[in-house]
Amino acid sequence: MRLLVDPTFDAPGRRYSFGWGTSSVKTAGPALDVADLGPLDAVLLTHDQHADNLDDAGRRLLPSAPVVLTTVAGGRRLGATGLAPWQTATVGGVEVTATPSRHGPAWSVPIVGPTTGFALREADRVVWISGDTVVFPGVLEVASRFAVDTAILHLGKVQFGLTGPARFTMTGRDAARLCAHLKPRHVVPVHYEGWSHFHEGRAEIDAAFPQGALTWLTPGVQTALS
């Protein structure tokens, strides 16, 4: 199976509006070109309203994917399959369940819009992709519903000057607290670099976890998880 999450393939250097006076500059390009991806079984799109999750080149790629799973609102906008929290679809032999996600403080939801995570189950193995979220009861519920083997966590401590100290994704400390509930075998940090609105990088994330607890990915390099 080849599943692509949140395709962004634009070149770096451009500033993108995120709405309500916020914006971010893309500071790094993709590790692979679209032509090098190979055939896709599905695209898992945590949300379509922000360019760091779906940019112009990523949007052009979507029609080539046989299945696109996303939020209910995103599904309506894109003509894709929209899943509400805890709804399930099957891609090949993988059961894909949408999981709750809240992209910031509770007050920001009407402004930021809906997001989702994805729990992927094959046999007795579960890989959970958090999506862009903070820690809130819906995310903690994942631990009560799934025995997560691998947690792929969107981090980076997203902040904007206009919204002050409000955070729109998890910090390393948030992720460590969440993993105390999940107890996954593997923790993979993603979505913490390549854009100017990220305010916490590898050093801060690493410091929040016991030494050796995290699996770090190198862009463009295949990583095998046992």
Q: What is the CATH number of the domain that holds 39?
A: 3.60.15.10
Does 226 fall in a domain? no
In this predicted structure, what is the pLDDT of residue 142? 97
In this predicted structure, what is the pLDDT of residue 226? 82
Phi-psi map region of 13: left, alpha, beta (phi>0 left; psi -120 to 50 alpha): left
In this predicted structure, what is the pLDDT of residue 21? 87
pLDDT tens string 177-195: 999 999 999 999 999 999 9
Give residue 189's domain range: 3-207
Does 42 fall in a domain? yes
Whether 89 contacts 99, CB under 8 Å: no
When the pLDDT of each residue in the chain is averaged and rounded to a whole number, the result is 96
Does 214 fall in a domain? no
Residue 191 carries which DSSP code?
S
Does 224 fall in a domain? no
In this predicted structure, what is the pLDDT of residue 51? 97
Q: Which tokens is 134 given?
A: 């903070």
**Residue 132 half-sphere exposure, CB side, CA atoms within 13 Å?**
32
Does 219 fall in a domain? no
pLDDT tens string 90-122: 999 999 999 999 999 999 999 999 999 999 999
Q: How far apart are CA 91 and CA 67, in angstroms?
A: 8
pLDDT for 208 beyond 90: yes
Quickly state the pLDDT bin for 19 (edges 50, 70, 90). confident
In this predicted structure, what is the pLDDT of residue 61? 97
Q: How far apart are CA 198 and CA 160, in angstroms?
A: 9
Q: Is the pTM of this model over 0.85?
A: yes
Number of folded domains in the chain? 1
The one-letter code for the residue type at 104 is G
In this predicted structure, what is the pLDDT of residue 75? 98
In this predicted structure, what is the pLDDT of residue 20? 83
Does 212 fall in a domain? no
- CA proximity to 174, closest of 91, 105, 84: 105
In this predicted structure, what is the pLDDT of residue 185? 97
